[in-house]
Every structure is written in C-alpha cells, then in structure tokens.
Chains A and B, each alone.
Chain A
Amino acid sequence: MNPGVESAEPGGQSGAASGIEPVVRASGVRMSYGDVQVLNGVDFAVAPGEVSCLIGPSGSGKSTFLRCMNGLEPVLGGSLRVLGEEVGHTLRDGRYRPWTPKEFAAFRRNIGMVFQRFNLFAHHSALENVACGPVHVLGAPADRARSLAMEHLERVGLAAHAHKRPHQLSGGQQQRVAIARALAMNPELMLFDEPTSALDPELVDEVLEVMKGLAAEGMTMVVVTHEIAFAREVGDWLTFFADGVVVERGRPRELLANPAHERTRAFLSSVRNQKERQEP
C-alpha cells in the first residue's frame, strides 16, 4: 500500500473539511443486469473542479458506473450522490421516493455526457445539435441559442463547419460537436465515456486538446479512458476499476509508477504493450 495515496482521499478530504459537498460521492454502489452483477460496491468521489480518470479492463463496469451517475442506469444498492442529490430518489417524510421522468430530466440538465460513439442528432446540423438543448430543454429564445451555440462551436474550433450535418464531419469533429452540445447546457459536471476510443489515432489529439482546455478552466470531469498519457497529464485522480469494484485509486503519476495491486500492474503493462504495437 502506498501511504501517500491512502492519506489524500480523492473527492477532497480537504473538501469535506471545508464543508464543500463533493460533486460525486459513491459508497457501495451496486448494479446488475438481470442476474449479472456489474457493480459490486463501488466507492468513489469527485470534488468540485477535479478531473477524475477511470481506467480498467473491458467489461469491468466503467461505462455502467458512469451511466449511473446521470441516471441512465438505475443504482440498485448502496448510495450514489451527484450534485447534492441521491440519484433517482428524493428523501421525503422519512422515505426515498423514486423520481419521475421529469425529475430525471431536470437532474440531467446539469450534467453533460459525451459518448464513445458521439451520438449526434443525425437530422440536425452541427449548430442545431449544439442549440438543441438550450432551445428544447431550457426554452431559450432561438436567436440567443444560436449565437451561444456558435460561441461553443468556436471554442471547439468548428465555427467553419456549423452548417454541416454529422455525416459530413470526421469522427474527431463529431466528437468536438458532441462536447460543445454538452457544454451548451452549462453543466456543473461532465462525464466522458471513452471519448476517443472510436477515433482514428490522428484524430485523438484534437479531442483531447478540447478536454484539456476544459480541465484547465476548472470543469469537474469524470473521464473513462484508455489514454494513459492524458490521465497522467490532466487527471487529478486516477481510479483503476476491475470486476465492478475500485481496485485502487491515487494520484495518476504515483499510481502509474507504483501500482499497489497485481491486477493494476498487469492491466497497465497490457495497455502499454498495445500502445507500442500501434506506435512502434
């Protein structure tokens, strides 16, 4: 065990001390698809402004955990508090009452999500994709939404492509539009599920650059990724996931240099080998 890692808790021991509630606080989160147990008691926390990266083997439940955070999958055990609310339930008269679809929708407005496969609205141009949330969810006036959407596209370097449909854009451009779409809602938390895994290697950096910019501005982010270099450089914390539990977590540099667990070591060396095979 690395004492340095254990003493400085991700999610801000300091935050708890100064009375700031963490943005995400998971304790013993469990989730299953039918009989298949996917999350077996996940403990996890993110303090405001932190970038927390999640790594782990395929099928270990990283996506599922991320999707639990904005209520796309139901939490079936333990407690998951995000932005001050128990996801999916409100405490009233000594009981937790399940949310209505409307309450889920209202909760998700404050959380941006970026998917591995972009999931842009195919019938909308890049600009319309970005304006869609403000117009249809927040009820913003169309011209105001339009100019704001344009600003967000400029920020991800795509102002010149505003009128193109998703199928006319490269993967990297689509993913940047997807990030702009999420940012247009002014989220307090951004969730990224392997945002660069579906991209050709030469398009990965343009997306990572946008994410680095976001991190530098102090956005609270949870990033599932296989980009070890990104996790080391940008992440405040690194969490290693396997078989539906957190195996270990710590400062990225320390965890990558000195993994405490054999599983982490094996995973890291397999990821590095893959990288070397791709880029000899």
Chain B
Amino acid sequence: MRTEPITGPSGTPVPVARTLHWGRWLSAAVALVIAGWLVYLVVVNPRLDWGKVAEYLFNERILSGVWVTIEISVLATALGLVLGVLVAVMRLAHNPVLSALASGYIWFFRGTPVLVQLIFWYNLAFLFPELVLKIPFTMIGLKWDTNQVMTGFTSAMLGLGLNLAAYFAETVRAGIQAVDHGQTEAAYALGMTPAKRMRVIVLPQALRIIIPPTGNEFISMLKTTSLVYVVAGHDLMTNASQIYKANNRIMELLIVASLWYMLMTAVATFLQGRLERRFGSDAVRLVRGGGLAARILPKAAA
C-alpha cells in the first residue's frame, strides 16, 4: 500500500489516506476468539491432567512406540515405492495379461479398506498355518509358522506397503506417461531395448513428477500407521492405547501420541522440502547414482 505523498496538480504533496480493512480485522478477531476459547476449554479443563501428559511424554514405551512407527513407515513406504514402480510398469506393458494383473492389483488394494487388509495379513494363519518355500518336486525348502512370521510388525508393514503400492503405481504411471513419446522413439532409434529406454531415458525424467508426491505419501503413512494398533504392532498408537487401557487416562495419552505425530510430521515436512529442492528439478542422479554427468563431466557435476 502506498504511504508516500502524491504531488497533486497544485504542486504540493498531498498525503495518501490509509484504507481501513474493517472486514479483515473483524473476521480475524472472530476466528481468534473462537479458536482461543476452544483451546482454553481444553487446557483449563479440570478433568485433564497436564502433569500426566508431561509424565508420559518421554515414557519408555511411548518412545519405543515412536521408533516402531518410524520403522514401519519407512519400510512400508520403501516397499510401496518399489512395488508401485513395478506395478506401474506392468500396467503400461503391451502384454495384456500383465496389464490386466496390474489393474486388478490396483483395483483390489484401492477398493478395500486398509484396516481390513491389516487384519487380513495378521490373521493369515487361518488360511495358511505354515508358510512353505520349496523347490517343486523336491524336499528342499524352508518352512515357517505363519503366526511367527505374521507378527503385528510384519503384517503392518505388508498391509501398508501393498496398499501404498496401489496408489503409488498410479502416480508413477502418470509420471511415465508425461515423458514425451518422441524421446522413446529416439531411444529406440539409437538401438536401446525397451527396458534400457525405461531405465535410462524415461524413469529419470518421470522421477521429477513422481518425487514430490512421495513426501506426502510418507507423511500420510506416518499417521496411517496408527491403524496398526488393531493388530498390536507395538507402534506409538498401540503402546499409547495399552497404557490408557491400564490407567484410563485416555485424553492425556491421546495428547501425548498427537504431540509425537505432529513432531514426526514436522520433521518429515522439512525433509520433504529439502528432497524436492534437491531432486524436484534434477531427479536424474537419484536413479543412476553419480549419473552420466558425474562420470563424463566430473567438473561440471562438481
């Protein structure tokens, strides 16, 4: 807004009047009052024991739960990303069977609630009491007790990872399809095989489109892990709920858990910003390590 006077037709400077945005002030004030009142109601609530919140914030089980939540999130996201690329490439394959299988996968895992999938994996032993990996027609192989393999942790990782893969496959597919088809033709004309063209030309460029949403996927995964408490995955939410079931301090422990989720989200958001700045415009190096640039042009890459 201009504050410097304007020299009018008479030759003398005339000050500029300030516009008062009454509407803005009023709406801000109303919103602040309502928000402040709600916070106040919770904070001063005599039934809420803030001492307990402080007491449990760094409780050993809570901290171990935080750690498990991070582990599950990282592993499930990694599984989802790798599998998602695979499903996307299958989905785009000319082979109609592969393409249909990939579509079926996406439809199934997006079509059923993730909660149902978690419980399904956890209870896999009902269908397959033993998991057997063996070479057909021989006695050579490995065998596990399903209940020992499908702990809360592994079923959480599998359930969340397989589910993410279905969503992520669509992101990857969009990224791959966004790469100009002319470059595919040029790659073929140079003598590349379809696989090499995908790895060397298409995926590095598709990553620019794929990488920004992966940050969001991870952040949402951090919180989706709370569903794991239905299969007792020893994550933050599971441990918090076990504590409040014992001492009945439900609200306090929900606040403790929320504070940790908020902290993890804040850290992940910060890392996401760095990731996007680093790779958003130049995702090439991620796929090929040092990249061609680093190998043939050490100075330019440095």
Whether A122 contacts B297 in the complex (CB less than 8 A), given A132-B190, A133-B190, comes out as no
Give chain A interface residues in 102-136, CB to chain B under 8 Å. Answer: 102, 104-109, 111-113, 115, 117-125, 127-128, 131-133, 135-136
On whether the beta carbons of A108 and B183 are closer than 8 Å, the reply is no
Whether A127 contacts B297 in the complex (CB less than 8 A), given A72-B189, A120-B186, A137-B190, comes out as yes
Chain B residues engaging chain A, CB cutoff 8 angstroms: 180, 182-183, 185-194, 196, 200-201, 204-205, 283-284, 292-293, 295-297, 300
Pick the contact of A117 from B182, B192, B201, B300 — CB < 8 Å? B182
CB distance from B194 to the nearest CB of A (A): 5
A179 to B201 Cα, complex, angstroms: 18
CB distance from A104 to the nearest CB of B (A): 8
On whether the beta carbons of B191 and A119 are closer than 8 Å, the reply is no
Determine whether A232 belongs to the interface, using a CB cutoff of 8 Å to chain B: no
Q: List 21 A-B contacts (CB under 8 A).
A: A70-B189, A104-B188, A105-B188, A105-B193, A105-B196, A109-B191, A113-B189, A115-B185, A120-B183, A123-B283, A127-B296, A127-B297, A128-B296, A132-B190, A132-B200, A133-B190, A133-B191, A135-B296, A136-B196, A137-B192, A178-B186
Whether A72 contacts B185 in the complex (CB less than 8 A), given A105-B193, A133-B190, A137-B191, comes out as yes
Give chain A interface residues in 127-149, CB to chain B under 8 Å. Answer: 127-128, 131-133, 135-137, 142-143, 145-146, 149
Of B193, B196, B296, which is in contact with the most chain A CB atoms at under 10 Å from its CB? B296
A146 to B196 Cα, complex, angstroms: 20
Give per-residue flags for A65-85: 1 if the beta carbon is below 8 A from chain B beta carbons, else 0.
Answer: 000001010000000000000
Determine whether A181 belongs to the interface, using a CB cutoff of 8 Å to chain B: yes
On whether the beta carbons of A121 and B185 are closer than 8 Å, the reply is no
**Complex: chain A residue closest to B284, CB-CB:** A123
A127 to B192 Cα, complex, angstroms: 18
On whether the beta carbons of A146 and B193 are closer than 8 Å, the reply is no
On whether the beta carbons of A185 and B201 are closer than 8 Å, the reply is no
**Complex: chain A residue closest to B299, CB-CB:** A163
Q: Which 6 A-B residue pairings sit nearest by Cβ, starting from the closest?
A: A109-B191, A119-B182, A146-B296, A113-B189, A119-B186, A142-B295
On whether the beta carbons of A105 and B295 are closer than 8 Å, the reply is no
**Extra 17 A-B pairs, beta carbons < 8 Å, given A119-B186, A120-B186:** A72-B189, A109-B190, A109-B191, A111-B189, A112-B189, A115-B182, A115-B186, A117-B182, A121-B201, A123-B284, A124-B292, A127-B296, A128-B292, A128-B293, A128-B297, A131-B292, A132-B200
Determine whether A94 belongs to the interface, using a CB cutoff of 8 Å to chain B: no
Q: Which residues of A contact B180 (CB under 8 A)?
A: 119, 122
On whether the beta carbons of A163 and B297 are closer than 8 Å, the reply is yes
CB distance from B234 to the nearest CB of A (A): 43
On whether the beta carbons of A136 and B204 are closer than 8 Å, the reply is no
A178 to B183 Cα, complex, angstroms: 11
Q: Which residues of A contact B201 (CB under 8 A)?
A: 121
